[in-house]
Amino acid sequence: MLELQRTIERPVSISGIGLHTGTSCNMTFKPASENYGIRFVRVDLGGRPEIAAIADNVVDVSRGTTIGIGEAKVHTVEHVLAAVVGLQIDNIIIELEGIEPPVGDGSSMPYVEQLLAAGFVQQEAPKDYLIIDETVTHHDEEHQIDIVALPLDGYRATVMVDYQNPALGSQHTGLFDLEKEFVTEFAPARTFCFLSEVEHLANVGLIKGGDIDNAVVIVDRNSDAKELEQLRNKLGIKEKVVIGKNGILNNKELRFKNEPVRHKLLDLLGDLALIGAPIKAQILAARPGHRANVEFAKQIRKLYQQKKLVKKFQFVKKEGVVFDINAIQRILPHRYPFLLVDKIIHLELDKKVIGVKSVSVNEPFFQGHFPGQPIMPGVLIIEAMAQTGGILLLNAFPNPEQKLVLFMQINNAKFRKPVVPGDQMYMEIEMTNKKSKVVMMTGKTYVNDVLVAEAEFMAAIADRESEIKK
């Protein structure tokens, strides 16, 4: 795999109609600077809005992957993204004069050909690989979908599909080397659907640009000449439509014996581009689809963001520690004698954090609470939980060192056992709701697995500078 970032050498364009919207579009690939990423730009809209190709910007997954910000949207981005990541391009501007990229022949090959013609430029910045160092899984029981990422010093993907349909059957495929296999073995694989789906998709307006030249239609039911003629008229197909003897509408030849599952792998590559960084991992997927792919991409992106934040504040990696006291001081504004969390041992962005506080007899509050019988004040246990929760919240927003967590409410606070010198508090804080800049959390503190305190918090995120000026 490449070690340095790359972009394309010169602009290239492609025109045509979109598969789902049926609208015409001119799309231009342009070089981009280091660390720019992959961004779509709607040049046909006022202000030329940019939409970064990240999972946070996905707004729809009904039949394809649509990204958007506000009113600006781009439909069916997965085939374009597959071409970009399949060619290991890190930085690129994708300008569109329309709402959906041209469908071409229903594969990624038209985009790949243009990008290869544009040529590549090696940049100086290293690639920002996300290295998967532990197993990550996504399971959808209802649709029997499983996607797993396993540690690997490289990038591989294996996909299996089983539609329990005799027209397609079970198929599997695997990509083991992007440079050697992507262009020839996967980029040409075309999108497909079943004949039984086509009429419904046409009725709900999801394949306005579809025809038998940009999609493989698999025959899974008998249809008479009248039904096929109605279908031809509905889709605006000029040539006659017939049931193919090979199980494909109009006897279209497959490019590969297992072309459908290869296209599923192509879709997976494109959707996983929404992680926002190249990854080193082995991906195993059973019966994947856009919804599951995007959910998995969101899950992996959270891991990517978390690793970046940890690197930003934790300079020295320590076994079993996410943030040590030096990192905590880079994040929180609190100092002696009011810094009440020593280390963070677990962090899941937007979900859960676990902090540790070792309680020493040297704590200044023991002098007066109480002489001869030192007990940690309950209000300071609450404060220790609040500071731990503050780390969870601040890492959910950009530039946490520039923010303050201001607590608005503390509800249902309960103190179960006293905390005394020599105890080590484990504070588990979970986010229960997040709206704009107001967040709800629950917190529990344990000593030796015994619950000693709990509370519910409501907090607001504010800019540190503006609050100091007040």
Task: Give me the mean pLDDT over the 138-143 stretch.
Answer: 94
Task: Give me the mean pLDDT over the 64-92 stretch.
Answer: 97
Span 291-306, pLDDT tens digits: 999 999 999 999 999 8
Residue 235: predicted pLDDT: 67
What is the secondary structure of 76-131 as a DSSP string?
A: --HHHHHHHHHTT---EEEEEESSS---TTSSSHHHHHHHHHH-EEEEEEEP--EE
pLDDT class for 465, splitting at 50, 70, 90? low
Task: Give me the mean pLDDT over the 180-196 stretch.
Answer: 92
Q: Catalytic residue among 172, 334, 346, 369, which?
A: 369
Task: Give me the mean pLDDT over the 170-181 stretch.
Answer: 96
pLDDT above 70: residue 181: yes
Q: Which of 292, 364, 340 is nearest to 138 (CA)?
A: 292
Q: Catalytic residue among 79, 263, 290, 334, which?
A: 290
Which CATH superfamily groups domain 4-125?
Answer: lpxc deacetylase, domain 1 (3.30.230.20)
Residue 185: predicted pLDDT: 98
| Cα–Cα distance list, 27 to 35, 111, 183, 204 (Å) | 22, 10, 20, 26
From first CA to last CA, the distance across the chain in angstroms is 52
Residue bearing tokens 């009440």: 340
DSSP, collapsed to helix, strand or coil, labels residue 448 as coil
Of the listed ranges 85-89, 104-108, 240-244, the least confidently predicted one is: 240-244
Percent of the chain surpassing pLDDT 90: 73
DSSP, collapsed to helix, strand or coil, labels residue 25 as strand
Alpha carbon distance 46, 66 (integer Å): 20
Of 5 and 218, more confident: 5
Q: Among this protein's residues, is 172 annotated catalytic?
A: no
Amino acid identity for residue 120 in this structure: F
Of the listed ranges 38-42, 203-207, 252-256, the least confidently predicted one is: 203-207
H-type alpha helices, 131-285: 178-181, 195-203, 225-235, 259-272
Alpha carbon distance 161, 189 (integer Å): 15
- Answer for the pair 437, 463: CB distance below 8 angstroms, yes or no: no
pLDDT class for 399, splitting at 50, 70, 90? low
The H or E element containing residue 355 is strand 352-358
pTM: 0.85
pLDDT above 90: residue 360: yes
Residue 37: predicted pLDDT: 98
pLDDT above 90: residue 208: no
pLDDT class for 206, splitting at 50, 70, 90? low
Percent of the chain surpassing pLDDT 70: 94
Domain limits of the chain? 4-125, 136-309, 314-469
Task: Give me the mean pLDDT over the 93-106 stretch.
Answer: 96
Span 412-461, pLDDT tens digits: 999 999 999 999 999 999 999 988 789 999 999 999 999 999 999 999 88
Task: Give me the mean pLDDT over the 30-51 stretch.
Answer: 98
Per DSSP, what are the bridge partners of residue 97? 26
Which range in 224-233, 356-365, 399-408 is most confidently predicted, on average pLDDT? 356-365
| Cα–Cα distance list, 109 to 36, 173, 252, 282, 429 (Å) | 24, 18, 18, 24, 48
Alpha carbon distance 91, 77 (integer Å): 16
Residue bearing tokens 């929404």: 274
- Report the b/e string of 64-83 with b at 16+ CB within 10 A: bbbbbbeebbbbbbbbbbbb
Residue 250: predicted pLDDT: 81
**Averaged confidence pLDDT in the chain:** 91
Q: Among this protein's residues, is 346 annotated catalytic?
A: no
Residue 468: predicted pLDDT: 46
pLDDT above 70: residue 397: no
Provide CATH code, domain 314-469: 3.10.129.10
Span 252-268, pLDDT tens digits: 889 999 999 999 999 99
Task: Give me the mean pLDDT over the 138-144 stretch.
Answer: 93
Architecture of 136-309 per CATH?
2-Layer Sandwich (3.30)
